[in-house]
Copies of this chain bind each other. A is one copy, B any other.
Amino acid sequence: MPETMSETPLPFAPPGTKAEVEEGHAFTPRFDRDGLIACIAVDAQDGRVLMLAHMNAVSLAQTIETGEAWYWSRSRGELWHKGATSGQIQRIVEMRTDCDQDALLITVDVGGDGGCCHTGRRACFYRAVERDPQTGQVRLRPAGE
């Protein structure tokens, strides 16, 4: 079961005109057909990209209300208060949205051991995609965390 949630999550208005969406001051997040919006989390300490996850309207509202990152776990099909069990709480320093308001960028202070990845690594993007110029084969190699 998810943790206790606000009984009145913030409503989000639907997107307006292209000009309103791109230049306006109204926050009208554009959720995809699964009701999700992609969210990039960046570490406030050094700007490193920690992870990419998704929020639905409820988790986004909860994130704004609590100042801590709540996601929607696509694999588990449930609300996910990041760090609730690991201690790796992501406290929101700043949240941004992009030109067409279909993506979010959060800058976070990370609790616990400062990591985010369930594999135990600090960040999720720990492998580089490389193509061997001779063979053309594409492989992953460990890269800095």
Contacts and interface: CB of A to CB of B under 8 A. Distances in A.
A1 interface: no
Interface string A105-145: 10000000000011101001111111100001011110100
Contacts of A84: none
Copies of this chain, tallied across the complex: 2
A118 to B, nearest CB: 7
Name the interface size band of chain A: 35 or more
Nearest to A92: B129
B140 A97 contact: yes
Contacts of A94: 128, 143
Contacts of A126: 96, 99
A52 B25 contact: no
Nearest to A39: B52
A105 B119 contact: no
A52 B128 CA distance: 18
Nearest to A48: B47
A128 B96 contact: yes
